Chain A
């Protein structure tokens, strides 16, 4: 329990430092941090499925996409969400993400393992197809340009102000998801991840648990989408494309599945390498690929497992089985 408190303290200090340092750095760093945090919410929502429930989804971009398109369509076609009603758009974005997940979940939750992966991939591609071809609504391949960020007394077009908004959403999402995974519901999700059959024998309705987790993940995906649309001022099918789902999945695995903050760390690393390093050197892709390969070879629990590995190497900790903490190997997920 004490270790848990230290972890929480580290996260809080990290968040405070982030809120303090980023606005004082160059505006481009503010922009990157904003993007990384909006995307981190998506990565964390996927972690609920991947890390805590043991469901590897390749369709998380679908909820992200509907959130983003909702925000863009409302702003451009109905001039809605440009003032205080932005908050309604946020709620609608969460609801539309949840609604879509509720529909998709009916198809996807029946399967597990690779079949779940394939079904979510197919469903995600359906949303991409809609975005690409529904020209009158989505602008097709060209996407939708938004005219500016909302202004409700607080002007979000200022990058630093907007950073704080996304930061707040990120922090609240992290807190809510943390409370969720610590709750009895979260514990039973972990139980399903470890051994679904045993949970069924104990009398849990595992289908319903997974379905609800799927819907919650969809809701946070929708929220991330709304913030993403406002971050870029532009939504295109590229937002919903398969690589967005894959990116989110890689970020979670890279940072450490089943830890929540792992997704955020993964997002920070990937955005840092892909969008910051690429402004400095042309070989950034090798760096990103190298990080992925090394993490998969040597850090099966993700980057967040580094301190644990160091401690193990020093031999300062006893080899209790529970020492691997909350980061469980994905390989242990029963299919």
Chain B
């Protein structure tokens, strides 16, 4: 009887033994800084997850696995691209590994799902990638242990709207992936562009994962001066190719993920000249960025994406905050306060933190160019920075109160006033 039982319960029993073992080992060394890292290391987002982990790991490797003098125990957990799993893994990190903080999540849904865990478990959560606007806007009050070191979805796209307007574009068609991130990116662009006098004359929402844009391209209005697009993953490779093949000659503006370094090496020459906006470009011409790109590429064989840089900078931020705390973990409330007070000289440029715990950072308007950079021998596609908007906050020029009074960007907000 007992053998049958133990066979049936063996996964659980095994679990118990492992759990007990891990707890003992983590209690024995109290001086270390335990950092949990939640990223999709399997599934369709596995490559993005790898960029995230590699970015953080590179900083640790360059600094002898120490942050601010404390030994780091870096524990990577696989969220598999699912919010449910992200919650389980975050809880595992807190309950079993007793981490001081957990970092990461990729999709907005993972970020939203993990933020309440930080509140319930009174453990710090650093969103190093999830960009959902409301995490640091209308819902921040619910998450006192939450801080973001990356960006909010609409943050780079307000300046892009302004820039498009400054180029003299009057009418723009927006075509963006049909989900929350797409709404926030396209919404930010439309708001700034229209406030400056431009008109978004058509909004098209192809579903996430669209493989053939044939049905959408002929519906694009011909009197547009330019097109604004937000694509993710394989969509970002397919869309410009099909659009140019259809004979579209007008300028294409892209949201952050349409042309980021994660997709760029796989693109063809048809994207040369396309413009996008983000808080990082691998082609920023600073010694700091050059060193980072070279070190990253030497180690991992590819150009770092903003996923890599954001996590590298997160590690740097923790490093400097720990230094300020004297190498001892001061507790989550105090640590967040220290992080908020710091000014970081990061790879992507100078960063500080606003009072809603979202970074104030440079936004780069980038143009895809084919050239040799940083002494690499082959000409490649790079996101050359053509304009820098310094110290952009998530509220752009609207001011916090006015911005928060409007609803979060959605499919219907801002309304398409100039659509027919």
Contact = CB atoms under 8 A, between A and B. Distances in A.
Given A141-B109, A276-B11, A234 B179 contact: no
Interface of B is mostly: helix
Contacts of A26: 15-16, 19-20, 22-23, 95-96
B113 A14 contact: no
Interface in B1-25: 1, 4-5, 8-9, 11-13, 15-16, 18-20, 22-23
Given A10-B1, A282-B41, A236 B19 contact: no
A32 interface: yes
A234 B116 contact: yes
B9 A13 contact: no
Interface string B385-415: 0000000000000000000000000110000
A232 B11 CA distance: 21
A33 B8 CA distance: 13
B142 interface: yes
Interface in A60-92: none
Q: Label chain A's interface by main secondary structure.
A: helix
A272 B87 CA distance: 16
B96 A272 contact: no
Interface string A97-139: 0000000000000000000000000000000000011010000
A274 B8 CA distance: 17
B11 A238 contact: no
B83 A236 contact: yes
Interface string A1-39: 000000000100110011001101111110111010000
A29 B180 CA distance: 34
A265 B10 CA distance: 11
B132 A21 contact: no
A276 B16 CA distance: 11
Interface stretch (A50-58, A143-151, A200-208): A143-151
Interface residues of B, number: 49
A78 to B, nearest CB: 18
Interface string B70-97: 0000000110101111011101100110
Contact of A280 (B13, B18, B108, B109): B18
A22 B11 CA distance: 11
Interface in B82-137: 82-85, 87-89, 91-92, 95-96, 107-109, 112-113, 115-117, 120, 132
Contact of A141 (B78, B117, B179): B179
A145 B8 contact: no
Contacts of B115: 145
Interface in A281-308: 282, 285, 307
A178 B211 CA distance: 47
Interface string A268-281: 11001111101110
Given A14-B5, A14-B9, A239-B84, A28 B109 contact: no
Given A35-B88, A234-B84, A268-B12, 11 more contacts: A14-B5, A17-B9, A24-B16, A142-B112, A142-B132, A232-B83, A233-B87, A234-B112, A234-B116, A236-B113, A278-B80
30 contacts: A14-B9, A17-B9, A21-B12, A24-B16, A25-B12, A29-B16, A31-B88, A31-B92, A35-B88, A133-B178, A135-B410, A140-B179, A141-B109, A141-B208, A142-B132, A142-B180, A143-B83, A145-B116, A233-B116, A233-B117, A234-B87, A236-B84, A238-B82, A238-B109, A269-B11, A272-B15, A274-B80, A276-B11, A276-B18, A279-B77
Interface of B: 1, 4-5, 8-9, 11-13, 15-16, 18-20, 22-23, 41-42, 77-78, 80, 82-85, 87-89, 91-92, 95-96, 107-109, 112-113, 115-117, 120, 132, 142, 178-181, 208, 410-411
